[in-house]
Chain A
Amino acid sequence: MSVTLLIFAIILFFFSILAGLLGSLTGLGGGVVVIPVLVLLFHINIHYAMGASIISVIATSSGSAAAYMREGYTNLRIGMFLETAAVVGAFCGALLIALISKTILAILFSLIMFFSAYLTIMRREEKDQFTTSHVWAEYFNLNGTHAVANQQTPYYVQNVPIAFFIMYIAGLFSGLLGIGSGALKVLSMDQALRLPYKVSTTTSNFMIGITAAVSAGIYFAQGYIHPFITFPVMLGVIVGSYLGAKILTKIHNRVLRIIFSIAICFVGVEMLYKALTGAI
């Protein structure tokens, strides 16, 4: 397969708009689209794909986090507290990347896809009403308020140690696979901390950029960020995440979760096939 550089950049740009759109809408980050497109469609080395993906995650975070912070949804204290576990995980993951074969990485990536699909489809809005919070939440003053029907309503943070551990695992995946691990981040806040959904997704959006930036330093050093591959990705993702932030309120969560779960399952199967047949 051979195309001109211009056509390659244009095709990649449009796929990256989709990546940014899905990444900002679902909180999963752009990597779940960028990596399969580069590896499966264009046969790009998976390390370059992960380098481009890391940049796409930072771009998604920067674009959507700005909008969400203006709205006041993001809980910065929770974000920074959990980020300590995530950055350590990301650092460890990025250091391990050169030691793991592409086949193993691809299989691991497939499993992440299936797991992310399961988490996306199974997630339900938390209906529990808490009036007390975990002792760590009290100590670190993590509780906050969010707007419900134009009124600021308090929420009480639960299960902080579990969320902290999940966040380390999320960071590890981010460093290894060049993805934002937004699924695990949102999950830990939604299911463990029992935060309101919008607080979880917006705080995750704030965090994934910082986690990915830790990995980016190491990816730069190892030569995995190719400027020609990365530039259409970054520009497309910024356009997509901007559009995503605009239309977020107009899409029903359930519909989006079903569509996205099917898409990432399909990508996971393809990646698994490639890995098992030695096509990567």
Chain B
Amino acid sequence: MISSNKMQANLAIILLLGTLIATVLVLIGGSIFLWHHGQEVLQLKLLGTSHFNINIRHLDFSYSPLFLIVLGLLALVATQILRVLLLVFYYGSIRDYKFMVISLFVLFVLLYSFIAQK
């Protein structure tokens, strides 16, 4: 049986790893993008009125730096899902079924918010 302290330590490791992976992806993507386009002038008013859709069901793979950033952002969000999933397994392992159901509910809402996209 996994102790609560061990569980918290495992969650901390997952959070750190997920954040690290996300940071590296976003840093690489952002650096490449700025390397090529950093000196271009940005009309902020235009940016404010333009619509940049990055629906994750229709990701544009043709522009890799921005895609790397999106991938990093998704990795960061996935880390949150992963930590809830870990809690489901943890509460299941100690036979705390009330909290297993509670964690499953949170996990369901999390996943539904991604799957039920228009």
Within 8 A of A (CB), among B9-53: 9, 11-13, 15-16, 18-19, 22-23, 26-27, 29-30, 33-34, 37-45, 47-49, 51-53
- A-chain residues with CB within 8 Å of residue B117 when the two chains form the complex: 217-218, 220-221
Contact A238 B106 (CB under 8 A): no
Contact B48 A45 (CB under 8 A): yes
Task: Give complex CA distance A122, B28 in Å.
Answer: 43
Partner of A5, one of B5, B8, B40: B40
- B-chain residues with CB within 8 Å of residue A190 when the two chains form the complex: none
Task: Give complex CA distance A91, B105 in Å.
Answer: 13
Partner-binding segment picked from A27-35, A70-78, A125-133, A259-267: A70-78
Contact A210 B80 (CB under 8 A): yes
Contact B56 A220 (CB under 8 A): yes
Contact A225 B73 (CB under 8 A): yes
- B-chain residues with CB within 8 Å of residue A84 when the two chains form the complex: 102, 105-106
Contact A223 B80 (CB under 8 A): no
Is A201 close to B, CB under 8 A?
A: no
A38 CB to nearest chain B CB (Å): 9
Is A135 close to B, CB under 8 A?
A: no
Contact A210 B73 (CB under 8 A): no
- B-chain residues with CB within 8 Å of residue A165 when the two chains form the complex: none
Is chain B's interface secondary structure helix, strand, loop, or mixed overall? helix
Task: Give complex CA distance A76, B9 in Å.
Answer: 12
Contact A227 B54 (CB under 8 A): yes
B69 CB to nearest chain A CB (Å): 4
- A-chain residues with CB within 8 Å of residue B57 when the two chains form the complex: 221
Q: Mark B55-78, 1 if CB is under 8 A from A, else 0.
A: 111000000001001101110110
Contact A5 B114 (CB under 8 A): no
Nearest residue (CB) in B for A54 is B77
Task: Give complex CA distance A227, B74 in Å.
Answer: 11
A residues sitting closer than 8 Å to B (CB atoms) are: 1-6, 8-9, 42-45, 48, 55, 58-59, 61-63, 65-67, 69-70, 72, 74, 76-77, 80-81, 83-84, 87-88, 91, 94, 140, 209-210, 212-218, 220-223, 225-232, 234-235, 238
Mind listing 24 A-B residue pairs with CB under 8 Å? Answer: A5-B33, A42-B44, A44-B44, A44-B47, A45-B47, A58-B77, A59-B19, A62-B19, A66-B16, A69-B9, A69-B12, A80-B84, A94-B113, A140-B98, A209-B80, A210-B80, A210-B110, A213-B77, A214-B109, A220-B54, A226-B54, A227-B54, A228-B33, A230-B73
